[in-house]
Structure 1
Amino acid sequence: MKAGGNADGSRPLGPAAALFTSYFLLAVLGLQWGTVRGAASPVFPAAGVALAGLLLGGLRLWPAVFAGTMAAFLLEAPPLPLWVKAALASGNTLAALGGAWALRRARLRPALTRLADVLVVCAAALGSSAIAATAGTFALAGAFDQGFRQALVTWLNWWVGDVTGVIVMTPLVLSWARGEPVGRDRGRWLHLALCTAAAWALARLSFGPESSRIVRPWLIFPALTWAALTWGVRGATAAMLPVAVVAIQATTEGHGPFGTPAGLQFALLQEFIGATTVTTLVLAVVADERRNSEALRRNEERLRRASRAGRIGLWEFNIDSGAAAWTPEAWALFEGCCPGSGRVDYARWLETIHPEDRAAVVRTVDQAIEQARSRLSEAHYKDEYRVLHADGTVLWVASTGAFERAGNELVMLGVVRDITERKHAEEALRENEARLRLALRAGQTGVWDWDVVTGRVVWSDEVCGIFGIPPGTFEGTLEAFERRIYPDDRMRVRAEAQTAIKGRTSYAIEFRVVRPDGQIRWVTDFGTVERDEAGQPRSMIGMVTDITEKRAAADAIRESEERFRNIADNSPVMIWVTGPDACCAYLNKVWSDFTGQAQAAGLGFGWLDTLHPEDAERSASVFRAATARREPFRLDYRLRRHDGQYRWCIDAAVPRFSPSGEFLGYVGSVIDITDRKQAEEERARLLEVEQAARSEAERANRLKDEFLSTVSHELRTPLTAILGWSHLLRRRSSCEDEDLRKGLAVIDRNARAQAQLIEDLLDMGRITSGKLRLDVQPLDLHDVVGAAVSSIAPSAEAKAIQLEKISSPAVGVTRGDPSRLQQVVWNLLSNSIKFTPEGGSVQVKVSRAGNHVEITVSDTGEGIEPEFLPYVFERFRQADASTTRRHGGLGLGLAIVKHLVELHGGTVRATSAGVGKGTTFTVELPLGVAHAPAEGGTDGREVDARASVDDICELSDLSGISVLFVDDALDTRDMVRTFVEERKARVRLAGSGEEALRLIELERPDVLVSDIGMRGMDGYELIRRVRALPRERGGDVPAVALTAYAGNEDRTRALLAGFQTHLAKPIQPTELLMAIGVLAARGERKGRPQAVDGGPRLP
């Protein structure tokens, strides 16, 4: 047995349709310009669109090119034989394929930003056009006797026309489809419009009936040059398009500079268009390259200046080869100067690192490399170390790097920057903090008395405590006092004391003392000299105060101010401070560096001068209002940078208060947020693009659903008539006419196969869109399998295949969708019967295994090759996919089986011993499956037409029942009338909804059977109008929807609209008769949707 699966997916309909439409329209236009029996053209623009379309959308779009060519030739060249048209279409398709393939191999940039890209397109135009011209010439030569004699002329005309079409249209499509976004600059778009309009006007002037043959066409070049120089390739292609159109139209009409002589008019036209287009494109590309080169040079120069200013450089290290490359700014940090070459190996770099840091640096690098080799995406390198210059200078640098793969080699890219000033600031900060901690110790105040005459010194106990000695242990001498003074302060203290004794009346000094434990304390010493009657110093009495805490506080304030300035000046943001009067009192160095304004100039309200004029007043108002309320504030404004460029910044500030609550002013910071604003704008743009793309995808999905619904309707409607009439004819045919009976059976069987193909395609559409749901209910798998076996039995009998069913009574009742499970079993049985030769056997077995149920379908058929088994359940995949395969089908059945089984929470597998040894499919379903109900369920409002039919009516006799059948398809109306009247029912026919409404009110039928998809008033509108009628006028007539719209959502919509039954085309006559009998017998005339089940799904 052989089975099918999935191919490579359906081609995108949108791009294919766009390519077909554009190619067809341009091909028709080109053929209208034709010179050789409608098959050649002086310029064939469709060739350029085909080449660009396959290059952008992929080579798989080639059927759109072939179909567009055939459609154009069928419309514009009817005298040509069909095989000639097919050959011409094949040649054009091969030309587009060859050109697109060649451009991809040449790595063309579709935006055509390089001169090489334009030249490659021209080369592809020459080569691909030769393919089409050769195919067309041979085809025409074979079709017409005179073709061979004019082969060379035909080939040249064809080739040059296609070449011209490619070089005009392909750059136009590629540059506008793949170029950089233009934006919404109205001035720039107006500029392009003026260029294009000027080119068109000059072309009209040059190719008018009164134009000169030689001079005036070249008047167009200024406009084309203008467009090429200002808009680049896009401008050149846009301006060239109207020129080419005007030139071709004028020449084909016989006027303009190339209108005569007749023998040379198209050659001159092609030469003009080709030369003009290529020249304009080359000029545009050269102009673009020069602009891009200049922009790149400016950016590189700005980067170099920024790197030098910030003492930052870039480096690259090849881990595998050991080679390293440095920008001059980077290597200058290691050598102290910029070397001529930036390529220095790893060993030379290590020599520049300070010897004390070298080992640690090597370890850090090795760890980063090891991490990169194991987890490249997470690896990073970061380190800070010292470098030693040849002159002994030591610098601190910070180096960071990331890893990437360059082919098979591991490369680390990074940046290095000078952090010496930061390190020095950190060191100074640490020293200041240490001194601050020493100055914060507490002290006391004491009194002393120095007898100048005897030299005796008396200290109070508090003084002893200040000096760190036990009370009463002081020696009482001046020498003992001076010994405890800090050595560096002794001479100063002694000098101050002598000065006070000799002349001054007071003594005051601050100095340090050294405690016995080595502790140094700061003291303030005040004293007053007492003198005798003669004025001689007698004593000095004073007070010493431990001012260590005060001194420390003063030092702390000084250190804090210095630290704040250091931090502020080295902060990455601008910092400012204002006083209570709102005047700026401080601006850090970053402000000055950013704005170029001197710090002194920005104080007060001078900082407002750096704001954008449009933002200054608003910012000042916000600042004044916040100051009045003493509240934090935050505002955005544009700040002029030192280079004159205005940058968006965010300014955030908080008020300062003293411990007593007094308002002291504000402290704030300013951050450049220009890049963030641009990122936010870009994010908003991308969100808008994403939303548009999502809307387009949703629209495409809706169109696909509508297309599938239309396909269902258009294919099921004729099948209804085919199956109905074949059913009637088989029942009426005599047993003696074997050929007729056999023919009708073949018709019926193939029509049902067609119906199953339609159902498979629709199911696969629902599967791929995620809209396939289950109608879960309790069920008996024996009944499900039995129904599938009964429906497939005729197919098995036709091939003399023994069909056997084995059921285990222990299976019991489970839950699932009976219709879908029957479809699973039917698909597996159908697959086995298809691939089992005549006289073989197929067995289906239902059994219980643990906590699940197994359904096994085995056969003695062709088997499956082991290589194909993994793909057996894929869509569109078949073991034999050749055109000579023995078995038909789309390869969807097993894919649908797999999806339906998985929706039930089960699994399906296939096994085969090999080719010719049969195949076994095993479906495992869990007991008690309970998934969500089917999408569009009817909430139990549907009445089963199969239940209790025998108790209600006899299907062989519908006597006395009047039926109104509405359908715009005459064949269906005749078929339904025939088999319903056979059951003795009265049948009235209506071809439209309007006619049906009239007949309902006139004849009050017992049952209404209506199609849904009808011209004018459809079935939904009809039933709504019927239900709007009062009961006495037929508003409660039971209604059956007989329609080719067969999805669950269609069924739900029909029931909600007012139908009692939804039957999907193609319908078996017995199903419709059953529904009519049930509704008529039950007298369902309430106008509410009491639905009748449409019966089992057709296999």
Structure 2
Amino acid sequence: MKTKKNHSTLEFLPQGGEMGDLIRAKNWSKTSIGNPEDWPQSLRTTISIILNSKFPMFLFWGPELICFYNDAYRPSLGKEGKHPYILGSKAEDYWKEIWQDIKPLIDSILSGNEANLTEDQLLPIYRNGKVEDVYWTYSYSAVHDESGKPMGVFVTCTETTKKIMAIKQLQESEDRFRTLSDQTPMMVFMANKDAEVTYWNKSWLDYTGQTFEQAIGRSWDKIVHPNDYQRLLETYSISIEKRSNYTIEVRMKGKDGKYRWFLFSGGPHYLENQQYEGNVGSGMDIHDHKEALYELKNSKNEFQFVIEAAKLATFNYNPITNKFLCNERLKDWFGLKSKDNVDLSTAIASVAKKDQKRVKKAIQKSLEFSSGGSYDIDYTIIDPNTLQERMVRAKGSTLFNKDKVAYRFTGILIDVSKESLANKKIKESEQRFKLLAKSLPIMVWTADVNGNLNYFNKVVYKYSGLQQGEIDNDGWLQIVHKNEREENIKKWKNSIDTGNDFLFEHRFKRNDGKYRWQLSRATPQRNEEGKITMWVGTSTDIQDQKLFAKRLEKQVKKRTLELEQNNTYLENMNKELQAFAYISSHDLQEPLRKIQTFASRIVSNEYDNLSDRGKDWFRRMQNAAQRMQVLIEDLLTYSRVNNTEIHLENRDLTAIINEVIEDLEEELKEKNVKIELAQLNKINIIPFQFRQLINNLLTNAIKFSSTDRKPLIKISSKIKYGRDFENEKLIANNEYCYICISDNGIGFEPQYGNKIFEIFQRLHNRGDYEGTGIGLAIVKKVVDNHKGFITAIGTPKKGATFNIYIPVNTENILGLKEAL
């Protein structure tokens, strides 16, 4: 008795890690390639190479492209994905997400083309419980069987997702650096070890007037003031020699030919091996500051003049000696006599009681080293003699000794009483505005100077049904109809940029999900200097006015448009279709009839004299002639549908459908088709066209029925308003007869829902299903003649559904479409 060979003893299957174990354990008899002992040597050799390689490898084998892979490839499949189910399975079943990408490559290799190499291609795959973006570098090459025929596709690959992500992150980092660098007012540069600049930011280019190409290299030699040039080179060299940072003040020539002072700071940059690579630094414009310091150094009186001109009060306090000095203005504000000696407690005593505790706390914090010594506070002071209030803003800083002890606390006070009063008036004005906005029945909103909306009255929240937090988080554009959002943003941005009034008509989503037209307008509010401080806008419901205006416009244009369109359309179509009908009915069919007649004579008299190949060719000729006959008849039908005057009749759909069922009796019996009719309506239709529509849809359902189950066709109808259907093309206030025809046939891919109505469009192979590709185009034309709409929804291997919407009153539909 012959003993069946154990898989584990096969020479090409030992070891191989996890995948070797899985291949040995799998029941291959249930696959198309059978048990391993029967595999061809080419397959065995290839699998042996794959299993013993540490490089990721994959194999598609045989007509069904059965899948094999090794341990090195395994990590690319992730967890909760294709592994281990893909082993020994058909490739198309497990690579659906990228099948359209890899199938042409596989076919190319199996057709005998050379091996290919693809680098860093994005091929999303399902793994780790979801579809992930994965980048691959891979090569496809052929594996030939013993006869030399390509029988498999050998894949060597490596996942480059991490590399691509790293490159993208590096690019994003580079973009962020350049964006940040260009936004800073300081000059930023990078130089190589030869002091040649490889990067200048926008501030340098703007100041010098150079292009980026002109600025790189040693072009800075000509920008530095001649008197500062040697000093800059020496500082630069010492920095490199001592491996330390540097700071230097130099003059740079601008595009206007004038020099300005800049403070440059930078330092050398070294590689990991401590080899000097270059220099990185920045320059800050200190010209005004330097000139100010120069002036101050030369004239203390001018400094005092600045203090007086700015109407500043100054103070200087020594926490160690408790000595407090101030100018005359501070004494005047605090109600003190000029000759009085002032201490800190006396000054604080003049602060309003409501603010004294806060001021003491701010001073105490400023005297602590950990605070950084900053002092900034607004408070009220009261003249003890006149009891007059004054609002001041105090700013100062503290100096600390080496022991971190404060030894000097100095600063200034600014009278901000007018500013405070102005702010108070602004707040009162805002309160009055919001009170008015709350009482208005229209939407009111405001925006800051940059166009950011920051206030909505209650009407906005009531209309939209949204809370303030929802609008703050997701933005106000969420209530604007998606078709107007882009134009809305464009017009609003233009108003912000130009200062012109904003005026725009758009639809807002109401809390019940319906949209209504609004007229939004906004006007900029300007200060005394003419600068915009804010925007105030309103949105008014104009839905009724818009519909009324459109209806009026429709009444004026209706007759003119109808006559112009109908006359032009009928004249052109009649000429074309008459010529086409004549050619199709006579010039095309006459020679076709002769072909069919002579073919019949040959079958009757000469058929036995033909060779087997001749008989096959003759059969193909007859089939081709028959298909041409059907095509001509379908084209004639299409032209008649397209060229028919509209004469509507009120007919029962049940009667129309029963007539078609009777005509198709033989086809229905042949495939044992069951038809279920629900209660159907009476509607205004063109009877012979609608009979053609039903005939084509039923014929289509019979043709594409599934062999796995008994064919079933369901037909139903109902009359409702357009707003009750989920179809944006329908007019909300008009009635439609909705007709649904569904089957349980082979179906089609959902993305072909619109494409199937195109003339000569075929979704299935001619060898599997006969047809001309005109049937559904005729259906679409009939629906169009009835001013209706048709959609198709398909699910592969489950069936198809055709949804037809026919207006109950065609005249109303025509009128409203023109009005809207």
> How does the TM-score come out when normalised to structure 2?
0.26
Question: Which has the greater radius of gyration?
Answer: 1
Larger RCO (CA within 8 A; separation ≥ 6): 1
Pick the structure with more strand per residue: 2
Pick the structure with more helix per residue: 1
> How does the TM-score come out when normalised to structure 1?
0.21
